[in-house]
């Protein structure tokens, strides 16, 4: 079957959907037929794939028929409605929404970390949250050598995490402010240009927002470490694209810096960037449009001998969403699971 897959992209007109199309055109996934699916209001549009214009069709039981693989990035409610229908029709679904991530029978996969979990799929495979993907790619090489005891994470999340409309809103707000006008808000509750605020996802009774709880629960599931101690503070910052994270990582024993640095320099999916003389480390601008998670500023925590500090940046739309989904598909093929 992998000699020529019939592939559907659900949410094809969104920021992640269009990124998936670009990545599919760049990589070697064997595609015999590509079907672009979206909501009825987007039907009739035309998108270009590898130089060929393709029509966008409204998602329905009929347009989901005959697919081998569906890459979904259209929101949790859409995934819950349509992916079971796609699976019943014979497709394997890779879902970028939060709909199925914490269900026990759904693998939650970062291919550099836990590709072996794909063998247990029952039709649906979940793509983790963007901040979780970036963090686990960076920390897994260390965790394999010396298990992690505790993680304290602070994220600096770009407008891209809220989609194409949020990115445009940031640009519009910057122009408004520079012209002396009040910034207009729609995608975000508060102005993001020249500003920052704690992540605007819903808060629970303990004061943690939904985004922070995703990092906690998803990392435990991916690492198969349900008792991993992890706390996160997620913040929206006025960056168009690519998220950043400051991580304090405590192990059960000291982790020599030279050993940790060597592991990260060789790790799959990681680009290690450090120039201490220039104070030059990963930056969102340089991570934008790139595949790796950029990691650097690795240092000893002066307050805790068993802890290291590191900084990372990664393209939220690319590795944090679209690329990870395509890599899951490639791993399914490599393992003979599709």
The residues spanned by each domain of the chain are 5-127+321-334, 132-316
Q: Cα–Cα distance between 13 and 32 in angstroms, integer?
A: 21
> Catalytic residue among 121, 130, 199, 234, which?
130
To the query of whether residue 224 is one of the catalytic residues in this protein, the response is no
Give yes or no for residue 56 having a pLDDT over 80. yes
What pLDDT is recorded for position 163? 85
179 vs 183, 237, 262, CA distance in Å?
A: 10, 21, 49
> Catalytic residue among 121, 143, 199, 243, which?
243
Fold of 5-127+321-334: Rossmann fold (3.40.50)
What pLDDT is recorded for position 84? 97
What pLDDT is recorded for position 28? 80
> 48 phi and psi, to 5 degrees?
-105, 130
Q: Cα–Cα distance between 319 and 76 in angstroms, integer?
A: 19
Q: Cα–Cα distance between 307 and 251 in angstroms, integer?
A: 6
Expressed in angstroms, the distance from the first to the final Cα of the chain is 7
Residues in the chain: 338
Going by C-beta distance under 8 Å and a sequence separation of 6 or more, which residues neighbour residue 100? Answer: 79, 83, 106, 124, 126
Q: Is residue 39 a known part of a binding site?
A: no
Buried b (16+ CB within 10 A) or exposed e, 226-241: eebebebbbebbbbbb
Q: Is residue 75 a known part of a binding site?
A: no
DSSP helix/strand/coil, 144 = helix
Q: What is the mean pLDDT of residues 5-16?
A: 94
Provide the mean pLDDT of the chain: 96
CA-wise closest residue to 73 among 100, 97, 47: 97
To the query of whether residue 243 is one of the catalytic residues in this protein, the response is yes
Task: Give the tens place of pLDDT for each residue, 236-265.
Answer: 999 999 999 999 999 999 999 999 999 999
Q: Is residue 316 a known part of a binding site?
A: yes
Going by C-beta distance under 8 Å and a sequence separation of 6 or more, which residues neighbour residue 78? Answer: 10, 11, 39, 59, 72, 97
Q: Is residue 314 a known part of a binding site?
A: no
At residue 135 the predicted structure's pLDDT band, cuts being 50, 70 and 90, is: very high
At residue 3 the predicted structure's pLDDT band, cuts being 50, 70 and 90, is: low
Task: Give the tens place of pLDDT for each residue, 159-180.
Answer: 998 888 999 999 999 999 999 9
Q: What is the mean pLDDT of residues 20-30?
A: 93
Among the residue ranges 33-47, 234-248, 263-277, the one predicted with the least confidence is: 33-47
What pLDDT is recorded for position 1? 42
Percent of the chain with pLDDT over 70: 99
pTM of the model: 0.95
Which residue carries 């990589």 as its tokens? 27
Give yes or no for residue 90 having a pLDDT over 60. yes
Query: Are the CB atoms for 282 and 313 separated by under 8 Å?
Result: yes
Fold of 132-316: Dihydrodipicolinate Reductase; domain 2 (3.30.360)
Q: What is the mean pLDDT of residues 3-26?
A: 93
């Amino acid at each position: 079957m992998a000699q020529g897959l019939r592939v559907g992209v659900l949410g094809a007109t969104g920021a992640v959907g269009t990124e998936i199309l670009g990545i599919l055109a760049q990589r070697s996934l064997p595609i015999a037929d590509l079907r672009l699916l979206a909501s009825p209001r987007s039907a009739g549009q035309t998108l270009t794939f590898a130089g060929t214009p393709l029509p966008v069709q409204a998602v329905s039981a009929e347009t989901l028929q005959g697919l081998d693989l569906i890459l979904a990035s259209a929101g949790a409610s859409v995934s819950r409605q349509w992916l079971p229908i796609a699976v019943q029709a014979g497709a394997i679904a890779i879902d970028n929404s939060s709909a199925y991530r914490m269900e026990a029978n759904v693998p939650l996969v970062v291919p550099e970390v836990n590709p072996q979990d794909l063998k247990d799929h029952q039709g649906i495979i979940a793509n983790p949250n963007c901040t979780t993907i970036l963090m686990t790619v960076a920390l897994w090489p260390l965790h394999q050598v010396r298990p992690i005891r505790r993680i304290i994470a602070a994220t600096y999340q770009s407008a891209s995490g809220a989609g194409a409309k949020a990115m445009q809103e940031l640009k519009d707000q910057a122009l408004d402010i520079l012209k002396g006008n009040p910034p207009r808000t729609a995608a975000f509750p508060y102005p993001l240009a020249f500003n920052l605020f704690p992540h605007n996802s819903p808060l629970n009774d303990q004061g943690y927002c939904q985004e922070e709880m995703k990092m906690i629960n998803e990392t435990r599931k991916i690492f198969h470490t349900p008792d991993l101690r992890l706390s996160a503070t997620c913040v929206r910052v006025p960056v168009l694209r690519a998220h950043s994270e400051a991580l304090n990582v405590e192990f059960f024993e000291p982790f020599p810096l030279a050993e940790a640095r060597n592991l990260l320099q060789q790790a799959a999916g990681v680009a290690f960037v450090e120039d201490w003389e220039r104070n030059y480390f990963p930056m969102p601008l340089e991570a934008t449009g790139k595949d790796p998670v950029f990691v650097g500023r690795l240092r000893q925590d002066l307050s805790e001998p068993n802890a290291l500090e590191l900084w990372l940046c990664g393209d939220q739309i690319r590795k944090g969403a679209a690329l990870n989904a395509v890599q899951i598909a490639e791993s399914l093929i490599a393992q003979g699971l599709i």
